[in-house]
């Protein structure tokens, strides 16, 4: 081989992007300790950061006036089991200019559907405010970030987001509501493949066999099935800073009691506000390990957290305000560091309920009486260029 050929091969090798696929299964105790370390660092910095909140995710990026020029910094701010979700970091910026969705098989360039099916990493942003009514569920390819900052973006009135055996997805700053069932149609999921999809559940965000997923600062309400559901072996997920309202079955984590592949599911649920008009499943957990930390539960009609098929639910530093006429006020709680108001109680629920509870590090989670201030900006933010979000 000539010297020139060797140089060319070395040059090509240097320019070829490499993706690190970390193992999705993590030591839960180490992950929980890292979450607490992040929270404690943010708390210690409150005296020095004028915009600090004690929320380590927000304090990582929201103090930056130039967030619009440093969008991809967000990918370094996740905590918990979904911390390694890089989304479209190091990829090109894709600007959505068209709110239409006329063809699920041959999407028009400039549409959200055209962006999410591409093979390469992309950081997807929006040129202006828009309401996107999808004709079929939006099936995402791996290594994508949907970043709604700087615009008011609604995905509503049709099928919504599906993460189907995809990895490294970040969904941030989107309003997702009034999601309907779709399916019995061909849908493209990559530039090279489309196929027949049966009827969808009608979730806001459906995670099916997905890994390294982060859903942050979204507002979700009123969908046909769940607001966020993760099933069929999904893991390495963080659900944070979201505002959820007006819905029955809010969040299902685990397909069924008999689907034992979900035993490796690991999910962090942090700094969310579960608000008015919610009924149940905040979340409903099966088999896996679930760290529920510093969330604000201000309304529910049936129950907040439920579990079956022996999940580990580590509930820490949450605030639960029970409804006035809840039949569940006689449940027996098993948690540490949670603040129970108005007669709120908890018990294991569902068939075969025998949940085990990991040791609660209640002194490390932020005190539950401060959760209201931590979650006051949960949901999509009103971010404008040149100013802090």
Closest-CA residue to 257 (of 211, 292, 307): 307
Number of other CB atoms surrounding residue 283 within 10 Å: 30
Spatial separation of the C-alpha atoms in residues 352 and 367, rounded to whole Å: 32
Beta bridge partners of 95: 125
Round to whole Å and give the CA distance between 154 and 135.
Answer: 14
DSSP code, position 265: -
* Stretch (H or E) spanning 142: none
Where on the phi/psi map is residue 310: left (φ > 0), alpha (ψ -120 to 50), or beta?
Answer: left
Residues making up the chain, counted from first to last: 389
Which residues lie closer than 8 Å to 58 by C-beta, 6 or more apart? 241, 377
Instruction: List the one residue out of 316, 290, 317, 296 whose CA is nearest residue 376.
Output: 296
The DSSP symbol for 8 reads H
Nearest to 182 by CA among 121, 153, 139, 126: 139
Which pair of tokens denotes residue 57? 């995710």
**Considering only CA atoms, which of 95, 101, 170 is closest in space to residue 132?**
101
> What are the catalytic residues?
281
Task: Report d(CA 376, CA 388) in Å as an integer.
Answer: 16
Pairing type for strands 193-197 and 185-190 reads antiparallel
Task: Please give the angle made by the CA atoms of 169, 171 and 174, to the nearest 5 degrees.
Answer: 160
Closest to 87 in 3D by CA, of 205, 208, 213, 216 = 213
């Amino acid at each position: 081989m000539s010297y020139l050929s060797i140089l060319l091969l070395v040059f090509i090798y240097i320019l070829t992007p490499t993706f690190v696929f970390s193992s999705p299964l993590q030591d839960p105790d180490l992950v929980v300790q890292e979450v607490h370390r992040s929270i404690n660092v943010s708390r210690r910095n409150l005296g020095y950061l004028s915009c600090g909140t004690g929320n380590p995710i927000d304090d990582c990026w929201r103090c930056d006036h130039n967030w619009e020029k440093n969008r991809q910094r967000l990918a370094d701010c996740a905590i918990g089991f979904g911390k390694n979700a890089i989304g479209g970091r190091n990829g090109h910026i894709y600007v959505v200019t068209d709110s239409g969705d006329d063809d699920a098989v041959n999407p028009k360039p400039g549409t959200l559907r055209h962006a999410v099916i591409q093979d390469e990493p992309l950081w997807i942003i929006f040129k202006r405010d828009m309401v996107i009514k999808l004709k079929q569920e939006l099936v995402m390819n791996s290594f994508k970030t949907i970043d709604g900052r700087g615009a008011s973006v609604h995905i509503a009135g049709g099928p919504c987001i599906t993460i189907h055996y995809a990895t490294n997805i970040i969904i941030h700053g989107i309003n997702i509501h009034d999601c309907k069932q779709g399916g019995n149609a061909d849908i493209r999921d990559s530039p090279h493949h489309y196929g027949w999809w049966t009827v969808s559940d009608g979730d806001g965000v459906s995670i099916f066999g997905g890994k390294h997923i982060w859903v942050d600062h979204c507002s979700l309400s009123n969908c046909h099935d769940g607001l966020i559901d993760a099933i069929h072996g999904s893991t390495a997920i963080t659900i944070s800073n979201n505002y959820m309202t007006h819905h029955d079955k809010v969040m299902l984590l685990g397909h069924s009691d008999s689907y034992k592949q979900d035993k490796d599911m690991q999910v962090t649920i942090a700094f969310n506000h579960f608000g008015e008009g919610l009924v149940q499943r905040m979340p409903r957990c099966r088999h896996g390990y679930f760290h529920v930390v510093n969330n604000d539960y201000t309304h529910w009609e049936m129950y907040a957290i439920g579990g079956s098929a022996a999940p580990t639910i580590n509930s820490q530093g949450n605030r639960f305000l029970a409804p006035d006429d809840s039949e569940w006020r006689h449940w027996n709680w098993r948690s540490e560091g949670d603040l129970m108001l108005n007669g709120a109680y908890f018990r294991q629920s569902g068939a075969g309920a025998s949940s085990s509870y990991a040791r609660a590090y209640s002194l490390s989670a932020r005190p539950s009486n401060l959760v209201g201030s931590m979650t006051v900006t949960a949901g999509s933010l009103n971010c404008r260029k040149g100013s802090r979000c």
